[in-house]
Structure 1
């Protein structure tokens, strides 16, 4: 009666502790290990657990030594049905794990746990426990512990099994040992999304066309990762054909692009990058950034003006004219486009077309504080600094006198 009373008190205490912070997972009773073995006098034996399921973060084991006619009052699996998750076991309720064992007699054994078959085999041969991840060197008649990936070396090797080694301390009679091991499976990790697997998806995302448009693609790639994790287990995603994975990245990318309002921010960032590159004299790189905006159909008239200006400074006058005319279609009153178009005509040996534009707008301002005539003078000075010369610069300036 006292044993049962203590057991239920432990369960009540456990329920109190775990009600505040339960882990999201389950005891995998189908992959539990239950072995009843006989250890011969003065011998050592090895028991390999069942394969742990993917996502196993903790295991509870119970070791019980029984006399010849003794039986277990309750299995470890049946006890764990009353324990919602491993949290309570770590909070002092470990007694609930083995309190229902009926022990009589004096049989005891030592045991050690190993994370690989090779290490366990060596132990069986020589009895050395130097390479064990857990050692119980004081003979016991029963024991129970929780092993977790956070605290136990046994669980940090990412092995899908553990090997239990037992050494009988009975020098005359055989011993009956009951080993029970039950894994706790984290629901999220059971889908295979380890830290390393997540990193592989993030790295793959960062090479995508959309991500490369961003100066910081972290939020975008995390959004894609979340969607992939929700739809697929990691192994399922890896088994997709290359074209299927590429389509998944594209579809999820387009969804994330819209969901987190990245579109406007991305193109504004590209414009800033292009302006900075142009200021640094890296017109070719600036053109690449602006071309992304244009090819995506997100360009404004000023974007066309910017790419036209960069083409002029790289002496690609035909391309400058082409893009500036496209900008004119979007905004026919933007004088910065008109001025750059005049420059492109002039440098492309079409003085007459250039002259018509220079003359038409000479009485206006290109901005609220900069006159057309002054802007022409400034641009000609910039051209000379980068090595662009033209015999008609003087003729154009004389038009304003």
Structure 2
């Protein structure tokens, strides 16, 4: 894996490319990915609610599928016997695969990590994963790159002692994993991302960044801000702006930076200004789960001519559970080119939600993924055209009050 930083804008946004080797029928080829980029959010290796055929009908699909050790750990023996990796096992061979420790769309129970390993959670309950088991899983899955085992169990209420422990454990895990990784022939072409921990303490964040940067890692995951509220919304980027500046001052500019969180559009543009290169896309899934459809506008390069171009007055999303949708025969987002908006109305999806039909989340997932992926394409385009501030202003104006 190789990251090339092409430029840094005056506001701090980074434009670059990520080069990864991917196995194909006749050998290997190099996959070039433009950053900033979001990854395809998955559940157990598949896009939520969507078959692989339906997924491929969505435009501007991200080239990276984001999978989670927490949901895949019980599949490791089956994938190991399969011997062709998790991408082919899940019919996602057209994507590069990144495996994180936890599912970024779920709140993780606190207080179960130890110095021996990290607790991961799935439907079967808790499973403690140590570095040896972790590497065994990665050898079975054979992703393009993965997040090293970490202790990210910190939040606003965590004390300094807990933050120090998180940094120490994560560095110890990383050292063991890097040693095992180098000995593995199976993982010789797989990238490793080290995690930056330290809670909300500047000294610990700085120590974590310096120590991790001194290791032979391919990129960095900024972690430890995972706590969610009752609406499944994470921290405000403004809360950790100064912490990120300290972290990035101690990281090499030529390696990619990834952050897991529930990224609403306004949080995305602010995080990009901090210097984040890779995002997840669990936000469209969360919107789908609450019966919502994304409606925010990002057409920065067009003269406002209609509702979609001018920006939504409804905020970032609308609720199709709302009774007002019963007789609204417009598309979820008028003017959208996705399959859902071209063929179905708000009223019909409202009916599907009320009758608990499985088609409802399918149609919403198609639209929300489509809209979010188009948004990231617009973000990259705005940076190339030096119009990012215009797009940011448009997004901030639509922020719900």
Class of the TM-score when normalised by the shorter of the 2 chains = under 0.3
**TM-score, structure 2 normalization:** 0.22
* Larger helix percent: 1
Higher alpha-carbon Rg: 1
